[in-house]
Amino acid sequence: MSSSFLIAVQQRSQHLTIKSDECSSRGSAAPDLPIELQHRILDLALGSVVRTLCHTLCGLHDALVENLTFSIASKAAFLDPVSIPLKKGLLNPVEAFRSRISRCPSLTCVSLTGCDRVDDNLIEWMITERVHLRRIDLSFCPALTTQTLRLLEAKSASSALWWRVEGCVFEPSPALSAEQVLRNQLYALRMNNDAGLAKCFCFASPSNKQVTGPLPRFSRMIREGYSVMLRWREAYIAEHPIMNMPGWNSGHAIYLVTLLEDSSTDVRAECTSAAAFNWCLEVQGAECGFEGCWMTSSVGSAQLRQVQEPDGTLRGRRVEQPPWGEPVWRAHAVDCRPWDRRG
């Protein structure tokens, strides 16, 4: 089923004027009325009908909605929320979210990308409230923890639930792959604040923390010696060729990471400030308290020629730019067709 409704109610004063000559032509000699009184009469006569019609059509639309996307207001500093006083009668973001979800009984697909007020309790409520969910995107929701990961894994094991958590869960977890840990560290560094540096540091292995820690020392080292990690605009990740050698230990991973401070992917361009790194990760054992978790053991500089193609472009997969910011908690671009489940 595919349908959409666009309800627009506009009052244009120039089209609501009552002309005295029309009244006279019918034999009534009604005098001209003030424009404010004319509007008030029309509002009393038609307002309730229009409001009832709009409410009915909106309810019908909500009953058919299957796809729902929430958007963010701006790319403000990550985890640096701005306190915005709510106007009288308006719902707070969490209440507005619950209200919107509750009005859509046919909902199967939800995208909450970048909504930083989404937490574990909210996701648990949504999955319980909407048992027919088939697709959910929680990417860049920084308040989520491993509790949500466990919930999603349990739900997908018992139903056909597709989920995505890119840039979420900023704490060690066996559910995160080596590349996901690396990406999360890049996203955390991109926050360019104390909270982001702390989240990046939590993925450092115990042996790494002994060398680079404690956290204040680590933060000072990044700010003074590796500022490109805080300001990157483009990032690329590629497996180091050594990982393809026979007998390579599967509990170790080395990635070539390239960071650029502008949008150019040609490192030969004079306007581009680029840096390359060897990013080494290891699976931790039970003795350190992080059994089965990928954590970063070391990061070292690499030569740019290692990450360049012959034509000067960069090797590897491009890292998605995080959309950090405050959520609007407003649904938009809604239709009634499920997402392509092949994706």
- pLDDT 10s digits, 33-73: 776 676 677 666 666 666 665 656 555 555 555 676 766 55
Q: Which helix (H) or strand (E) holds 162?
A: strand 162-164
* 238, β-bridge pairs: 256
pLDDT at 114: 81
Rounded mean pLDDT of 190-208?
93
% of the chain with per-residue pLDDT over 90: 27
What was the pLDDT predicted at 2? Answer: 35
The C-alpha atoms of residue 200 and residue 155 are separated, in whole angstroms, by 29
Q: Quick check: 144 pLDDT over 50?
A: yes
Report pLDDT for 217: 96
Nearest CA among 339, 258, 266 for reference residue 66: 339
pTM summary value: 0.68
H or E segment and range at residue 298: strand 294-302
Residue 143 has pLDDT above 90, yes or no: no
Give percent above pLDDT 70 in the chain: 66
Q: What are phi and psi of 270, to 5 degrees?
A: -65, -25
Q: H helices within the chain, ranges in order?
A: 20-25, 35-64, 93-102, 120-129, 146-158, 178-190, 194-201, 206-212, 215-225, 228-231
Mean pLDDT of 317-328: 66
- Helix 194-201 to helix 178-190 angle (10° resolution) is 160
Q: For strand 67-72 and strand 109-111, is the pairing parallel, antiparallel, or unpaired?
A: parallel
> Band of the pLDDT at 6, cuts 50, 70, 90?
very low
Most confident of 22-26, 131-135, 146-150: 146-150
115: tokens are 């909504």
